[in-house]
Amino acid sequence: MMKWEQTMEIKILHRQGKSLRCIANEVGISVNTVRKYLKQDGNPFYKKRLPVTTKLDSYKDYLKERINASRPLWLPATVLLQEIRDHGYTGGLTQLRIYLHSLKPVVVEEPVRFETDPDYQMQVDWIEFRKGKDFLAAFVATLGYSRVSYVRFVTNEKLDTLIKCHEEAFDYFGGVPIQALYDNMKTVILERDAYGAGKHRFNPGMLDFAKHHGFQLKVCRPYRAKTKGKVERFNRYLRYSFYNPLVSRLKTAGLVLDVQTANIEVLK
């Protein structure tokens, strides 16, 4: 089921006059789903399915007791399978594994919304559009406080290009932030925790550039790209609401998007 905030976002975007396809791209769902939710009054809901009886049902209480009694140790499904078979279970291992998985404690790390002061953080990312010989990407910098973003389309992701894009972004924003946040860009970080926990080995060229301009390099934890969610959200808009429509229009005219055209269009 979709969250209440998402359903409200769909309705607000629709009231603003945006098309179903535009809403689908911004929310990250299909056009048919947008259409369905706009037709519904109140929050969306799903019909409850009727419970299905399985061969394992009569052994679930026994399994719960065995699992709870063994905590914090975990009993393998193959061991429990043999035990319930001794009590008459004739079903298979797969449904037993599925049920045991539902009994495992789930640790959910709740995302913490992190807001920064106006001059504190700039989130930086590359977003790739084409690979290979005709490579096309965009440098995106988003301010953590205002969400104002700067975009520069490029044909490579080399260090010189990254530094030049930073300089243009600083000029566009009218200053240098205290901190710039990245993922695991090779042009930024070479080795994580090289000198101890949280003490990374940064690319010397990028580190010198940061020291010269007086800002701190900071990287997200591995597999935690959502830490820089503000720039990630803008990336979605850039790909689906800017790049894809522009490319499709050029394609109908027999043209291919290049860096110059992309940068001219994004500055409009």
Looking at the fold, whether 129 and 243 belong to one and the same domain comes out as: yes
Looking at the fold, whether 131 and 231 belong to one and the same domain comes out as: yes
What pLDDT score was predicted for residue 116?
A: 60
Confidence of residue 109 (pLDDT cuts 50, 70, 90): low
Is 258 domain-assigned? yes
Looking at the fold, whether 128 and 259 belong to one and the same domain comes out as: yes
Mean pLDDT of the chain: 84
CATH (domain of 133)? 3.30.420.10
Confidence of residue 211 (pLDDT cuts 50, 70, 90): very high
Looking at the fold, whether 129 and 255 belong to one and the same domain comes out as: yes
Scanning the structure block, which residue is given the tokens 């055209």? 261
What pLDDT score was predicted for residue 182?
A: 92
Q: Is the pTM of this model over 0.75?
A: no
Looking at the fold, whether 149 and 252 belong to one and the same domain comes out as: yes
Looking at the fold, whether 192 and 134 belong to one and the same domain comes out as: yes
The DSSP H or E segment spanning 249 is helix 244-252
Q: Whole-angstrom Cα distance, residue 31 to residue 93?
A: 40
Listed in sequence order, the DSSP H helices in 125-228 are 159-173, 204-213
What pLDDT score was predicted for residue 89?
A: 93
What pLDDT score was predicted for residue 131?
A: 92
Q: How many structural domains compose the chain?
A: 3
Is 196 domain-assigned? yes
Looking at the fold, whether 155 and 32 belong to one and the same domain comes out as: no
Looking at the fold, whether 91 and 138 belong to one and the same domain comes out as: no
What pLDDT score was predicted for residue 217?
A: 94
Nearest CA to 149 out of 172, 179, 182 is that of 172
**Dihedral (Cα; 10, 13, 15, 16), 10-degree rounding:** 180
Tokens (6 digits) for 222: 């591995």
Kindly state the average pLDDT of the residues 204-215.
95
Is 108 domain-assigned? no
Q: What is the pLDDT of residues 26-38, one digit of tens each?
A: 888 888 888 888 8
Kindly state the average pLDDT of the residues 236-258.
88
Q: What is the pLDDT of residues 110-149, one digit of tens each?
A: 545 555 667 789 999 999 999 999 999 999 999 888 888 9
What pLDDT score was predicted for residue 58?
A: 92
Looking at the fold, whether 232 and 126 belong to one and the same domain comes out as: yes
Confidence of residue 41 (pLDDT cuts 50, 70, 90): low
* β-pairing verdict for 201-202 and 121-130: unpaired
- Residue 242, C-beta contacts closer than 8 angstroms, at least 6 positions apart: 265, 266
End-to-end CA distance of the chain: 38
Scanning the structure block, which residue is given the tokens 């319930």? 84
Q: What is the pLDDT of residues 159-205, one digit of tens each?
A: 999 999 999 999 999 999 999 999 888 999 999 888 888 889 999 99
Q: What percent of the chain has pLDDT over 70?
A: 87
**Would you call the peptide bond into 76 cis, given omega within 30 degrees of 0 as the criterion?**
no
Q: Which domain holds residue 99?
A: 57-103
Looking at the fold, whether 259 and 129 belong to one and the same domain comes out as: yes
Helix/strand/coil for 142: strand
Is 245 domain-assigned? yes
Is 19 domain-assigned? yes
Q: What percent of the chain has pLDDT over 90?
A: 38
Helix/strand/coil for 157: coil
Tokens (6 digits) for 182: 């990245």
What pLDDT score was predicted for residue 45?
A: 52
**Dihedral (Cα; 147, 150, 155, 157), 10-degree rounding:** -60
Tokens (6 digits) for 94: 């797969």
Residue 20 or 6, more confident: 20
Is 48 domain-assigned? no
Nearest CA to 123 out of 227, 256, 11 is that of 227
Confidence of residue 46 (pLDDT cuts 50, 70, 90): low
Is 229 domain-assigned? yes
Tokens (6 digits) for 21: 């396809």
Looking at the fold, whether 95 and 153 belong to one and the same domain comes out as: no
Using CA atoms, how far residue 29 sits from 21, 25, 46, 205, 216, in Å, is 9, 7, 17, 41, 37
Is 110 domain-assigned? no
